[in-house]
């Protein structure tokens, strides 16, 4: 049986082949912008499988979501922007940096302590990013204004209330295609 790394490398190689000369014409034509709607669709399908506790379906949907990561990474590699190796390196660094209670000397014995440490780390990251971008950190605004059911739990407890926005505004802000449902709290 293959190792996880071998399976991952196989998926990366398949994506490379699909985008290479002689590969799939549709895959070769895709761009970052053209596959964005599929990323959103796959994300919703992951959430739906979780909501339904359909673990067999979730396996496939997570694979579809991972495909999006591989797709973006292959396009970026072709453009000379970054590669899947860069994505994995950044992920590993982030996991270690955000868990100083596991990989460092910070003490956190409870989930509450972990969250306090995490929020302090995120605040420091935001401060660094806002300095580099002149105060504009768009992903935070998007996360905080996302439908409450799909916000991280620590943001769902806040005073944000997405239900005041119309379906049309939500679709425009989040570029949600008409064929996808918008989960709303009642």
pLDDT tens per residue, range 53-107: 999 999 999 999 999 999 999 999 999 999 999 999 999 999 999 899 999 999 9
Give the C-alpha separation, 25 to 38, whole Å: 17
Q: Which CATH architecture has domain 1-83?
A: Orthogonal Bundle (1.10)
How far is C-alpha 75 from the chain's CA centre?
A: 17
pLDDT in tens, 170-186: 555 566 666 666 665 54
Q: What is the pLDDT of residue 22?
A: 97
* C-alpha–C-alpha distance, residues 128 and 135, integer Å: 9
Which pLDDT belongs to residue 12? 98
DSSP 163: G
Closest by alpha carbon to 40, among 16, 10, 61, 11? 61
DSSP code of 31?
A: -
CB of 70 closer than 8 Å to CB of 85:
no
- Dihedral sign (CA 178, 183, 185, 186): positive
**Tokens encoding 185:** 């709290």
* Sequence-ordered list of residues with C-beta below 8 angstroms from that of 34, at least 6 positions apart, any chain: none
Q: How many helices (H) and strands (E) does the chain have?
A: 10, 0
For the chain, first and last CA: distance in Å? Answer: 48
pTM, 2 dp: 0.70
> Of the given ranges (16-30, 147-161, 165-179), which has the lowest mean pLDDT?
147-161
As given in the structure block, the two tokens for residue 91 are 């992920």
Question: CA 88, 149, 69 angle in degrees (round to 5)?
Answer: 20
**For residue 125, pLDDT beyond 50:** yes
CATH 1.10.287.1080 residue ranges in the chain?
A: 1-83
- Residues 100/117, Cβ–Cβ less than 8 Å: yes
């Amino acid at each position: 049986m293959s190792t996880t790394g071998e399976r991952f490398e196989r998926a990366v190689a398949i994506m490379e082949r699909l985008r290479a000369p002689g590969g799939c014409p549709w895959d070769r034509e895709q761009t970052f912008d053209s596959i964005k709607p599929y990323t959103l669709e796959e994300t919703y399908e992951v959430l739906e499988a979780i909501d339904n506790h359909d673990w067999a379906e979730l396996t496939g949907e997570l694979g579809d979501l991972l495909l999006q990561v591989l797709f973006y990474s292959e396009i970026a590699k072709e453009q000379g922007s970054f590669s899947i190796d860069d994505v994995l390196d950044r992920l590993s660094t982030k996991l270690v940096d955000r868990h100083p209670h596991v990989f460092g000397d910070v003490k956190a014995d409870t989930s509450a302590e972990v969250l306090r440490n995490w929020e302090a780390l995120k605040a420091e990251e935001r401060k660094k990013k806002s300095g580099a971008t002149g105060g504009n950190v768009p992903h935070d605004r998007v996360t905080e204004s996302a439908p409450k059911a799909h916000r991280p739990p620590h943001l769902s407890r806040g005073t944000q209330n997405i239900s005041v926005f119309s379906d049309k505004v939500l679709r425009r802000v989040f570029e949600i295609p008409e064929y996808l449902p918008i989960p709303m709290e009642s």
